[in-house]
Amino acid sequence: MPTSLPPRRLLLALAVVAVWGTNFVVIKLALGTLPPLLFAVLRFTFALLPAAFFIRRPAVPWRLLAAYGVLIGAGQFGLLYVAIGGGPDGLISPGLASLVVQTQVFFTIGLAMLMAGERLQRFQWLALALALAGLAVIGMNTDANTTPLGLGLVLGAALSWAGGNLVARHSGRVDMLGYVVWSSLFALPPLLLLSLVVEGPARIAASLAAADAGIWAAVLWQSLGNTLFGYAAWGWLLARHPAATVVPLALLVPVFGMAASALWLGEPLPAWKLLAAALVLAGLALNLTWPSLRARLARVAA
């Protein structure tokens, strides 16, 4: 397999991470009209339908699809949407949310240690320390736009994402697009129940009546662009190139997220926020790239 992406495939990978990063701004704009849990219901409804009629269910047990759907649907995106859209102005800014949720990498490692007995290597301890330092910087600078509750909700979303990662790993090598489509069936019941209980039928009906073409476009962007296009294109690239070549590009997701939030929503980028981003991204980069870099250095030394 080639160790670098040809220009067209690099552009495809950049398109995916750009969609995933700018998606946080789209979420914020849609949550101005739709309540968070209802927005999540709509996202997974259109991720499931009509795709389920054309994409075959992966050959994995239903219980794994159910676990993944609940963790990613109600856990990751339910909590993330509440964090970005909760309260009068949200509990955390979209740009910062796009950064903090990437801590799922370290939660995934931690859960793997607990469940499978995996051990942290020395470079992973350093990577974790860098990310924790970045989170500490965020925690010391909470304000009206970055609340402790919002930070906690996004960390909960990252933990749920990590749980979903382990479920997907346990499922073996499967078509992730089909996996995401069919697991959406199980994301819907808890999200719909929570929306009915927390947001109420009256608010749901009023927000749906107020939704214009732009809001529905944001919903479809979540379902078709962020979910179906993103997973299909990313999976296609991973099937043709080493993970070490493709996966590090995901580090650009919070870069796109913070830049888009600053440009479109006017989110300020003070020095502390840039420092936090640098620390978290440095930790993520070290965790993702050190094994392949170490292997290259060993080959050069030999």
For 230-243, how does the pLDDT look when each residue is reduced to its tens digit (9 = 90+)?
Answer: 888 887 887 777 76
Structure tokens at 285: 């980069």
Residue 165: pLDDT band (50, 70, 90) is: confident
**Contact (Cβ atoms closer than 8 angstroms) between residue 102 and residue 162:** no
Minimal CA–CA distance to 74: which of 205, 228, 237, 185?
A: 185
Q: What is the pLDDT of residues 269-278, one digit of tens each?
A: 889 889 988 9
pLDDT band at 2; cut points 50, 70, 90: very low
Q: Please write the tens of the pLDDT for every residue from 118-163.
A: 677 787 788 888 888 988 888 888 776 788 899 999 999 999 988 9
Average pLDDT over residues 44-59: 92
Token pair, residue 17, equals 């991470």
DSSP for 165-182, written as a single string:
HHHHHHT-S--HHHHHHH
CA distance linking residue 69 with residue 87, whole number of Å: 26
Which residues have CB under 8 Å from 192's CB, separation 6+? 41
- Find out whether 185 and 65 touch, Cβ atoms under 8 Å: yes
Return all residues near 259 (Cβ < 8 A) that are at least 6 apart. Answer: 21, 95
- The burial class, CB within 10 Å (0-12 / 13-18 / 19+), for 101 is buried
Q: pLDDT tens, 182-192? A: 999 999 999 99
CA dihedral 30, 32, 35, 40 (to 10 degrees): 20
Specify which residues 146 forms β-bridges with: 92
Per-residue exposure over 9-44, b if at least 16 CB sit within 10 Å of its own CB, e if not:
beeebeebbbbbbbbbbbbbbbbebbbbbbbbbbbb
